[in-house]
């Protein structure tokens, strides 16, 4: 693995841990700062909202900055957010610290994946992007459990101090081995470029979301919602429906995460070799896994195997969908496309958690939640097949060139690829 890619993977490991570890230390925070668990839950809700709403704006505002400067600076903001959370005198400042970390979340992950793709040979771009998102998978396997253990042993503030320290070390490594800068208007370099021009040209004025990219974003949202409708309630599903003891849940969640690491790597390779088939295949596998978990539980070890394979299938969708949304938006808009991609994943997680909770609140069983998740992921599969069919459709007849300008007085419109239209 190239050292810049390793540095970026460590950064995404820190970001993924910071996003999810809060769930493991919520009770300690509530007791220490004197607020209810519902109020502390805002630390998750507000974080997700900031990622979705502010992330694309931050990406647009920083689009012309060089990665070698931008990424360490934004990691510095991330470190500052965790430091502020660790030293917060009250709940309000803790909330501010979480928001500070969240505003750079989407841009960092998107820029890291885009930069990793720029280091790769043309036939391994998705695989290199998957190496970066592997950090997020590792955070669920190692980062979140470690952060929870630290919080339980030394207090929740220690978790944020540890996050700040590890993030600072990752930032130092990123500074030592900076992310490559994608050259403008030339073929992608085979090696790393530290002095290349910015990703976007000076003529870019705004980013226009193309229809195919919005379609892929809808696929991401529905597919993720389907998986998280069940995964959010994995613990009660495994204990109440499958009959496992509470001590086995931790092991099964660990195996789910390990399966995700395998899926992430396999999904990246599949996206490079079979770009048209990777998304439908991985979504189909996830939908099938959810459907099997919706059936009346028989052998509990078979349920455990399907549950772990669901993790493999879901994480395999991530590099495949990354590749699909970059292809839909155009390579020169890859960072913005991946920011929208990350926002779609966050919306899908929130939507899936809401859907699962709504079904349970209305008296439905956990297998019914799994069935609803399978339906949502199957809907994503149908949209993915539609997207593939539209991409393969022959283009319409070209309009005759008249030489006349179509400027309506509102200025030149610039597409996502940076070409004036």
Q: Please give the chain's pLDDT, 421 residues, in tens.
A: 678 888 999 999 999 999 888 877 878 888 888 888 767 777 877 888 888 888 888 988 888 888 888 999 999 999 999 999 999 999 999 999 999 999 999 899 988 988 888 887 877 888 888 888 888 888 878 888 888 889 888 999 999 999 999 999 999 999 998 876 654 433 333 333 333 334 444 444 444 556 778 888 999 999 999 998 898 788 888 888 888 887 788 788 888 888 888 998 898 888 888 888 999 999 999 999 999 999 987 788 899 999 999 999 999 998 889 888 888 776 657 778 888 888 888 889 889 888 988 898 898 998 999 999 999 999 999 999 988 887 665 544 444 443 333 333 333 333 333 333 3
Please choose, from the candidates 372, 249, 380, the residue with its C-alpha nearest in 3D space to the C-alpha of residue 313: 380
Give the Å distances, CA to CA, from 322 to 13, 56, 129, 136, 420: 18, 16, 8, 14, 25
Q: Residue 159 corresponds to which tokens in the numbers above? A: 């978790």
Each residue of 4-51: pLDDT tens digit?
888 999 999 999 999 888 877 878 888 888 888 767 777 877 888 888
Residue 101, CA atoms < 13 Å, CB-side half-sphere: 32
What is the token pair recorded at 6? 């390793």
The per-residue pLDDT for 289 is: 95
Q: Write the DSSP assignment of 191-207 as a string of letters.
A: S--SSPPPSS-TT----
What distance in Å separates the CA atoms of residue 372 and residue 216, rounded to the nearest whole number? 21
What residues contact residue 361 under an 8 Å CB cut-off, 6+ apart?
none
Residue 311 has, within 13 A of its CA and on its CB side, a CA count of 23
Q: What is the pLDDT of residue 28?
A: 86
Reading the block at residue 417, the tokens are 């690829």
Q: What is the pLDDT of residues 267-285, one digit of tens each?
A: 888 888 888 899 999 999 9
Residues 320, 299: contact at Cβ < 8 Å? no
Q: Where are the alpha helices (DSSP H) in 196-299?
A: 211-231, 234-236, 246-273, 275-294
276: Cα separation from own chain's centroid? 21
Q: What's the rounded Cα separation, in Å, for the pair 346 and 268?
A: 20
The set of residues, in sequence order, having a beta carbon less than 8 Å from that of 301 and lying 6+ positions away, is: none
Per-residue confidence (pLDDT) for residue 132, from 0 to 100: 86
Torsion sign, CA atoms 180, 183, 188, 194: negative
286 exposed, middle or buried (CB, 10 Å; 0-12, 13-18, 19+)? buried
CA distance 328 to 213: 5
User: Whose structure tokens read 């704006």?
Assistant: 57
Identify the pLDDT of residue 181: 65
Burial of 364 from C-beta contacts in 10 A (0-12 / 13-18 / 19+): middle
At residue 3, the pLDDT reads: 85
For 380, the token pair is 């994503």
CB–CB of 407/229 below 8 Å?
A: no
pLDDT of the residue at 205: 41
- The answer to whether 113 touches 322, Cβ cutoff 8 Å, is yes
Using an 8 Å Cβ cutoff, are 401 and 318 in contact? no
Task: Identify the CA nearest to 14 among candidates 143, 108, 175.
Answer: 143
In this prediction, residue 284 carries a pLDDT of 95
Contact (Cβ atoms closer than 8 angstroms) between residue 15 and residue 138: no
């Amino acid at each position: 693995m190239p050292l810049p890619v390793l540095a970026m993977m460590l950064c995404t490991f820190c970001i993924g841990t910071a996003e999810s570890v809060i769930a493991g230390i919520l009770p300690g925070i509530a007791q220490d700062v004197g607020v209810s668990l519902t109020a502390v839950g805002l630390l998750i809700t507000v974080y997700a909202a900031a990622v979705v709403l502010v992330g694309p704006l931050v990406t647009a505002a920083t689009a012309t900055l060089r990665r070698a400067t931008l990424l360490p600076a934004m990691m510095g903001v991330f470190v500052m957010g965790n430091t502020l959370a660790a030293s917060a005198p009250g709940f309000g400042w803790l909330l501010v610290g979480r928001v500070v970390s969240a505003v750079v979340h989407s841009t960092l992950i998107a820029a890291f994946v885009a930069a990793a793709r720029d280091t790769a040979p043309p036939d391994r771009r998705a695989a290199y992007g998957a190496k970066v998102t592997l950090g997020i998978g590792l955070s669920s396997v190692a980062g979140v459990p470690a952060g929870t253990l630290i919080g339980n042993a030394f207090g929740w503030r220690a978790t944020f101090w540890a996050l700040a320290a590890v993030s600072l070390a990752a930032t130092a490594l990123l500074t030592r081995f900076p992310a490559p800068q994608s050259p403008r208007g030339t073929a992608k370099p085979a090696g790393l470029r530290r002095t290349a021009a910015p990703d976007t040209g000076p003529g870019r004025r705004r980013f226009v979301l193309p229809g195919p990219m919005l379609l892929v974003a809808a696929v991401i949202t529905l597919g993720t919602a389907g998986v998280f409708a069940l995964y959010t309630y994995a613990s009660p599903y495994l204990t109440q429906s499958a009959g496992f003891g509470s001590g086995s849940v931790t092991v099964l969640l660990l195996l789910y995460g390990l399966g995700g690491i395998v899926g992430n790597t396999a999904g990246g390779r599949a996206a490079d070799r079979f770009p048209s088939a990777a998304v439908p295949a991985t979504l189909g596998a996830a939908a099938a896994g959810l459907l099997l978990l919706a059936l009346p539980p028989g052998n509990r070890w078979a349920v455990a195997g399907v549950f772990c394979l669901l993790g493999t299938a879901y994480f395999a969708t991530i590099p495949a969908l990354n590749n699909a949304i970059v292809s839909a938006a155009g390579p020169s808009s890859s960072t913005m496309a991946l920011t929208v991609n990350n926002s779609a994943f966050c919306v899908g997680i929130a939507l899936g958690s809401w859907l699962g909770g709504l079904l349970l609140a209305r008296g439905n069983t956990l297998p019914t939640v799994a069935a609803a998740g399978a339906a949502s992921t199957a809907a994503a599969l149908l949209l993915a097949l539609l997207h593939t069919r539209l991409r393969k459709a022959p283009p319409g007849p070209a309009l005759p060139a008249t030489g006349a300008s179509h400027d309506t007085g509102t200025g030149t419109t610039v597409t996502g690829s940076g070409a004036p239209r």
